[in-house]
């Protein structure tokens, strides 16, 4: 899928969001005020084969989700002017993509996580000529996955896991030698649903 087709579909469906979804988002926010606020960037980059999504593999020594595939992002700091600023700041800190190399064009619904956060996902186009600079304290590696692959429902399957002594179901997406799961896979599923409404 090329950049303009993706953007047209995303923005068209953004206008179609019904009041039920907006109400659900508001109640989610009210019911989860004790959750810590966080934001991630879903970075899309134009390549010869179409759009790719940039993902990171978290450092193995991290206390939360070591080695897990994720989007760049993190907890909102007091110095952040907005959650969008959080997503862009964290992206620059973690993988070196400068904030002025990202054009944010949309959001997905907030997502509560079992680790006690409510995450705001922002979508942005990244300059194709960007370079990455990994912070090894946070990130083990950076890689790209074709958007077409991630929009194919056949690549998703449900798996159960136990977290905080409760059973949860999560989407899993195997890609090459990695497994995308948890909140990251849920956001990709939400993106699929948004584009296919």
Distance CA 137, CA 142 (A): 14
Distance CA 24, CA 191 (A): 17
Q: Which of 67-71, 105-109, 124-128 has the lowest mean pLDDT?
A: 67-71
- The pLDDT confidence band at residue 65, using thresholds 50, 70 and 90, is low
- Which pLDDT value is given to residue 167? 76
Classified as helix, coil or strand, 148 is helix
Q: Tens of pLDDT along 87-97?
A: 999 999 999 99
- Going from N- to C-terminal start, the domains of the chain cover 3-147
Distance CA 53, CA 43 (A): 6
- Which pLDDT value is given to residue 34? 80
- Which pLDDT value is given to residue 164? 62
Ranges of beta strands (E only) in 72-134 are: 73-75, 102-107, 111-112, 117-126
Q: Tens of pLDDT along 110-164?
A: 999 877 889 999 999 999 999 999 999 999 999 999 999 999 999 998 888 766 6
Q: Tens of pLDDT along 23-54?
A: 334 434 434 458 899 999 999 999 998 999 99
- Which pLDDT value is given to residue 144? 97
pTM for this prediction: 0.87
> Does the pLDDT value for residue 64 go beyond 70?
no
Distance CA 85, CA 41 (A): 10
- Which pLDDT value is given to residue 168? 73
**129 Ramachandran zone, left/alpha/beta (phi>0; psi -120 to 50):** alpha
Whether domain 3-147 has CATH 3.90.79.10: the reply is yes
> Does the pLDDT value for residue 6 go beyond 60?
yes
Distance CA 27, CA 110 (A): 11
> Does the pLDDT value for residue 187 go beyond 80?
yes
Task: Give alpha helix (H) positions in the chain.
Answer: 3-15, 19-31, 83-95, 147-150, 182-196
Q: How many Cβ atoms from other residues are within 10 Å of residue 169's Cβ?
A: 10
């Amino acid at each position: 899928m090329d950049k303009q087709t993706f953007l047209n579909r995303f923005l068209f469906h953004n206008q179609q969001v019904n009041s039920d979804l907006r109400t659900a988002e508001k109640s989610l926010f009210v019911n989860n005020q004790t959750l810590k606020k966080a934001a991630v960037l879903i970075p899309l980059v134009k390549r010869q084969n179409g759009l790719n999504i940039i993902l990171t593999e978290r450092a193995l020594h991290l206390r939360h989700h070591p080695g897990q595939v994720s989007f760049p992002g993190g907890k909102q700091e007091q110095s952040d002017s907005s959650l969008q600023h959080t997503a862009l700041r964290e992206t620059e800190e973690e993988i070196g993509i400068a904030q002025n190399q990202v054009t944010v064009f949309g959001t997905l619904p907030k997502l509560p996580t079992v680790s006690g956060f409510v995450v705001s996902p922002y979508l942005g186009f990244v300059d194709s000529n960007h370079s990455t600079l990994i912070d090894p304290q946070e990130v083990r590696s950076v890689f790209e996955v074709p958007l077409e692959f991630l929009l194919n429902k056949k690549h998703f399957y449900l798996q159960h896991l136990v977290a905080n002594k409760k059973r949860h179901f999560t989407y899993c997406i195997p890609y090459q030698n990695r497994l995308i799961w948890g909140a990251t896979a849920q956001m990709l599923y939400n993106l699929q649903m948004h584009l296919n409404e």
